């Protein structure tokens, strides 16, 4: 009677152990992301092998230009500190932190992006889901994402810059001082020549 009971206990224990091992293996191979499912470009760069050929979601500012190639286009998405709040918007200088990635996307989907970030504009914030390639065979070994979908989270806009009158006044005063000193020196040199 004890033998069947022991066999059941052993079988249940083995089943629990196998289930635990399967869960651990699944957790080890799964792609981790933030609470909202978004992976940062820093995470991608630091864990390229882990994310290679996996579907991921990134979110950031569309910057630069859209480069159309047939029915596809290249865009660049930055998710660094400046993409969240640029210096023009009152953000702090945080050093060189440009973290962006190239995204290969169907051109019609890329057309959803109306404003790309640059000196004059805050680019649209986009959420992109696609397959990450550590070394894309299709694109010469470059690191990129082949997008399946683009969602524009927030449209970009032009920066409003007021004219800096203080700088203009300081510039005019500086130029005037230079001209006065230059002419005074020139007048002094010509006077010395006349006296000799």
For residues 8 and 144, the model is more confident at: 144
Task: Please provide the average confidence, as pLDDT, over all residues in the chain.
Answer: 83
Pairing verdict, β 100-106 and 142-154:
parallel
- Condensed to tens digits (0 to 9), the pLDDT of residues 134-162 reads 999 998 999 999 999 999 999 988 877 77
The whole-number pLDDT of residue 72 equals 96
Lowest-confidence range among 98-112, 145-159, 179-193?
Answer: 179-193
Q: Give the confidence band of 34 by pLDDT, cuts at 50, 70, 90.
A: low
The whole-number pLDDT of residue 83 equals 66
% the chain with pLDDT above 90: 46
Sign of dihedral through CA atoms 111, 114, 119, 125? Answer: negative
What secondary structure does DSSP assign to 91-148, as a single string?
PPP--S---EEEEEEEHHHHTT----BSSSEEPPEEEEEEEEEEEETTTTTEEEEEEE
Q: Say which residues have a Cβ less than 8 Å from residue 157's Cβ, sequence separation at least 6.
A: 115, 121, 122
**pLDDT higher than 50, residue 31:** no
For residues 9 and 175, the model is more confident at: 175
From CA 196, how far away is CA 190, in angstroms rounded? 10
């Amino acid at each position: 009677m004890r033998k069947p009971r022991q066999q059941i206990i052993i079988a249940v224990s083995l089943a629990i152990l196998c289930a635990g091992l399967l869960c651990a293996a699944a957790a080890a191979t799964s792609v981790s992301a933030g609470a909202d499912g978004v992976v940062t470009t820093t995470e991608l760069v630091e864990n390229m092998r882990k994310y290679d050929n996996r579907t991921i979601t990134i979110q950031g500012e569309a910057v630069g230009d859209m480069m159309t190639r047939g029915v596809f286009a290249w865009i660049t998405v930055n998710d660094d500190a400046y993409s969240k709040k640029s210096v023009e918007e009152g953000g702090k200088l945080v050093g060189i932190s440009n973290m962006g990635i190239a995204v290969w996307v169907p051109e019609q989907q890329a057309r959803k992006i109306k404003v790309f970030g640059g000196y004059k504009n805050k680019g649209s914030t986009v959420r992109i889901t696609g397959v990450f390639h550590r070394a894309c065979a299709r694109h010469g070994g470059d690191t990129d994402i082949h997008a399946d979908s683009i969602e524009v989270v927030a449209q970009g806009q032009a920066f409003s810059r007021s004219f800096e009158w203080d700088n203009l006044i300081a510039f005019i005063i500086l130029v005037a001082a230079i001209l006065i000193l230059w002419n005074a020196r020139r007048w002094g040199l010509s006077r010395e020549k006349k006296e000799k």
